[in-house]
């Protein structure tokens, strides 16, 4: 296995960091690597806010559902989908009457995907430097307050956060769905996927039992059923529309 | 620079492939590496369809706007956001009366981001094996026909395609926006971003002139203005809703 594959295959989310600082140049390196990810028609429709000041991290930790590791990590990155640069360009070059479609679902997908591709490159870059990361979906818990705290303009929304720091823990690898559940050949095979889920339920029961000394053993598909039944972040649609993403 | 960074920094989209075949095991390796990307609460809400048969690739090339390299690449991967596994789990474990929220914008974001993070890991894995890739947003041109061709169930939608093959070209690196345009410290700085765009316009004019022998020299922000003014894929909202993504 080459070095890159072995790095990818060893990913673990890191939620506890040593005191070792992360320099500004390291953040710049991470984002420069992120920028080399593919981007839809070169629109580069994303921005990253690096938060390093304690007050900002503390406030974000609170807004993300009191996740202490956001306060504790040396650098917290907020990855945003960003159509504001494109809108500004449109206003400069095609003013008078030029209809813009910044509010379509399509452009929302473009910007969200651009942010995610860049972020994952950034995650891999960080790990190659010996750093650990964890994605923070909780950045969408109180989106409006996050947008205000970070002075985000219209047409910019925080997709997820990412804690970055030198690891002070070594969690085990978490098993993934068996390949057959996610990889299909020539066309989608729902039965294959379902039998993969059954096998995974057993894997995860065993994994959880071992990891928690028998305290937890809920099968994955039960956890997923509970998750789906639990309404989460139902403010997102209204929030996005207020930010200029019409989702039309 | 470590080996991983140097790989990330050397990414170019590859649209021309040698005859060298790509084996099934290689595809499995790529997807296994993709699976190790982070996933929101471990939902793993994505699936990949590998298309290797000529007829399927030819049809997809047509549906993606007649992009010949989809026919020519040995393997075409269709990365899908997939909430169908979660829905199935919900129906198995929390039937009678359990409300499900599969149709929220939030869950649409979760699945789309999960697919993108996995795909970018897959792209990096492929490149580490000496393969080249190009993302194909054109998979959203005629989404409904793609969904039918690949027998996608409800709550699965193709986010993007990806051609994979051994490169038979060596394109130059395409310059990205200057770091200052995408990386902000502590809060969003629109002025900094704007001055970055101005610098990038000059960079890209020079780059295009050199690359096309003076045939093209439109500044980036003008291209972006034109792009935004051009309505693209306005069927997406209705298509997604028909697939079960209510975007509520």
Between A105-128 and B105-128, two packed helices, what is the crossing angle to 10 degrees?
Answer: 50
The yes-or-no verdict on residue B156 having pLDDT over 80 is yes
Tell whether B100 is within 8 A of chain A (Cβ): yes
What CA dihedral angle connects A2, A13, A77 and B204, to 10 degrees?
Answer: 20
**pLDDT at position A22, please?**
98
Please choose, from the candidates A127, A31, A112, the residue with its C-alpha nearest in 3D space to the C-alpha of residue B33. Answer: A127
Backbone φ, ψ for residue B3 (5° rounding): -60, -35
The yes-or-no verdict on residue B98 having pLDDT over 60 is no
How far apart, in whole angstroms, are the C-alpha atoms of residue A76 and residue A150?
12
Shortest Cα–Cα distance, B217 to chain A (Å): 15
Do residue A128 and residue B2 have CB atoms under 8 angstroms apart?
A: yes
At which residue do the structure tokens 């970018």 appear? B120
At which residue do the structure tokens 């095609």 appear? A94
Tell whether B12 is within 8 A of chain A (Cβ): no
Do residue B124 and residue A124 have CB atoms under 8 angstroms apart?
A: yes
Question: At B95, is the pLDDT very low, low, confident or very high (cuts 50, 70, 90)?
Answer: low
Running DSSP on this structure, what letter comes out for residue B151? T
Give chain B positions within 8 Å (CB) of A151: 187-188
Q: Are A42 and B203 in contact (CB under 8 A)?
A: no
Mean pLDDT of chain B: 95
**pLDDT at position A102, please?**
72
pLDDT per residue rounded down to tens, chain A (248 residues): 899 999 999 999 999 999 999 999 999 999 999 999 999 999 999 999 999 999 999 999 999 999 999 999 999 999 999 999 999 988 888 766 556 677 899 999 999 999 999 999 999 999 999 999 999 999 999 999 999 999 999 999 999 999 999 999 999 999 999 999 999 999 999 999 999 999 999 999 999 999 999 999 999 999 999 888 888 999 999 999 999 998 99
The yes-or-no verdict on residue B133 having pLDDT over 70 is yes
Shortest Cα–Cα distance, B184 to chain A (Å): 5
Across the range B8-14, mean pLDDT stands at 98
Shortest Cα–Cα distance, B248 to chain A (Å): 6
**pLDDT at position B103, please?**
84
Give chain A positions within 8 Å (CB) of B27: 183
Give chain B positions within 8 Å (CB) of A102: 228
**pLDDT at position A1, please?**
84
Shortest Cα–Cα distance, B102 to chain A (Å): 7
User: Which tens digit of pLDDT belongs to each residue from B16-72?
Assistant: 999 999 999 999 999 999 999 999 999 999 999 999 999 999 999 999 999 999 999
ipTM of the modeled complex:
0.98
User: B interface mutation test: which of A224, A227, A231, A246 has the most B CBs within 10 A?
Assistant: A224
**pLDDT at position B102, please?**
73
Q: Are A161 and A60 in contact (CB under 8 A)?
A: yes
Q: Which residues pair with A160 in a beta bridge?
A: A79
């Amino acid at each position: 296995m080459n070095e890159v594959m072995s790095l990818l295959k060893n990913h673990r989310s890191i939620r506890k960091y040593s005191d070792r600082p992360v320099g500004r140049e390291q953040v710049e390196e991470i984002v420069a690597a992120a920028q080399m990810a593919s981007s839809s028609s070169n629109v580069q429709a994303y921005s990253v806010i690096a938060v390093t000041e304690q007050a900002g991290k503390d406030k974000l930790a609170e807004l993300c559902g009191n996740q202490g590791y956001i306060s504790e990590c040396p650098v917290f990155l907020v990855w945003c989908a960003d159509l504001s640069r494109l809108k500004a360009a449109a206003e400069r070059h095609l003013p008078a009457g030029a209809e813009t479609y910044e509010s379509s679902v399509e452009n929302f997908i473009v910007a969200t995907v651009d942010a995610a591709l860049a972020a994952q490159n950034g995650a891999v870059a960080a790990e190659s430097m010996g750093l650990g990361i964890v994605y923070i979906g909780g950045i969408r818990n109180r989106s409006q307050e996050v947008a205000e705290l970070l002075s985000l303009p219209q047409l910019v929304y925080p997709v997820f956060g990412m804690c970055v720091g030198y690891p002070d823990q070594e969690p085990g690898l978490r098993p993934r769905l068996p390949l057959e559940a996610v990889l299909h050949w020539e066309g989608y095979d729902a039965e294959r996927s379902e039998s993969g889920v059954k096998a995974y339920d057993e894997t995860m029961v065993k994994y959880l039992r071992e990891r928690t000394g028998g305290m937890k053993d809920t099968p994955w598909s039960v956890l997923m059923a509970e998750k789906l039944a639990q309404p989460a972040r139902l403010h997102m649609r209204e929030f996005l529309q207020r930010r200029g993403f019409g989702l039309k």
